Amino acid sequence: MTTLYRCITDDDTSQFCHRVSEALSKGWALHGAPTMAHDPVKGVMRMGQAVTKTVMAEYDPDMKLGQQ
């Protein structure tokens, strides 16, 4: 068994919420609180949320975490 880790980031829009919701629907779990920071170049707020998931496979650096 392996615990996988991802950090989902996106602009502070509904798209970010949909990406996190999709991960949760695929068995990922929230890991800590979300984070928010201002991107001065784009002039928008950016969001981040770490998620984890335990899988029945050995870790492989070539894994596509978003497809797990």
pLDDT digits (tens, 9 = 90+) for 25-63: 999 999 999 999 999 999 999 999 999 999 988 888 888
CB 58 within 8 A of CB 2: yes
Q: Give the domain extent around 51.
A: 2-58
Total count of residues recorded for the chain: 68
Structure token pair of residue 2: 């392996």
The CATH number of the domain holding residue 10 is 3.30.70
State yes or no: pLDDT of 68 exceeds 80.
Answer: no
The CA distance from 23 to 42, in Å, is: 26
Residue 26 falls within a domain, yes or no? yes
Nearest Cα to Cα of residue 34 among 18, 21, 51, 22:
51
In a domain, 49, yes or no: yes
Residue 16 falls inside a structural domain: yes
Instruction: Please give the model's pTM, rounded to 2 decimal places.
Output: 0.87
Domains in the chain, number: 1
Whether 68 maps to a domain, the answer reads no
Q: Is residue 63 part of a domain?
A: no
